[in-house]
Structure 1
């Protein structure tokens, strides 16, 4: 998937990653209550995601069933890489240092990072 997806499109993707295939109506029911989106808004977002090859659809009678064409892990990996490249010159250490300098790492975060580093060394 070359084209980036917007925050609104990401909300639709989260619904589909949780459960699919779904109709546009079903997606709207799951994402709409928090955002107040109509079915037409969701259909517009699904259309954009189809154009970006982020979702696929199949006909089911007179309606379409939508499913993700991109796995969540692959998407998160690509977005994480873009963020690190754009803001930290492609290096992870400055990101962690940035968070630590601003006291945005909890003791739990630090413990999890330490456990991850220990596992990576093995």
Structure 2
């Protein structure tokens, strides 16, 4: 997937990552109702995601079944790396330092990071 997806498109992707394949109507029914989107809005977003090769569609009678063409983990990895590259020169340590300086890391976060680092050292 070369082209980035918007926040709105991401909401549709989350529905499909949660369960697929789905029809457009099933996606409409599963998108967070607080967004207040019409069926046409969701169908437009599905069309954009198809154009970006983020989802695939297969004919099923008179309807289409949509499924993600990219795994959630791969998407998250790419977006995370873009963020670190853009804001922290590609280095992870300044990101962690930034969060720590702003008291955004809890004691439980620190414990999880320490456990992760121990695993990575093995």
TM-score (norm 1): 0.98
Give the corresponding residue for 2:59: 59
**Match runs of 1:15-30 below 5 Å:** 15-30=15-30
CA offset at residue 36 of structure 1? 1.0
CA offset at residue 52 of structure 1? 0.3
Asked whether the 8 Å contact 1:32–1:38 carries over to 2, the reply is no
CA distance in 2, matches of 1:70, 1:44: 19
The DSSP-based 3-state class of the residue aligned with 1:104 is coil
The DSSP-based 3-state class of the residue aligned with 1:47 is helix
Give the corresponding residue for 2:48: 48
TM-score (norm 2): 0.98
The DSSP-based 3-state class of the residue aligned with 1:49 is helix
State the aligned residue count: 122
CA distance in 2, matches of 1:50, 1:58: 11
**4+ residue runs of structure 1 moved beyond 3 angstroms?**
none
1:32–1:110 CA distance, 2 compared to 1 (3 A): closer
CA offset at residue 51 of structure 1? 0.4
Give the corresponding residue for 1:37: 37
Give the corresponding residue for 2:104: 104
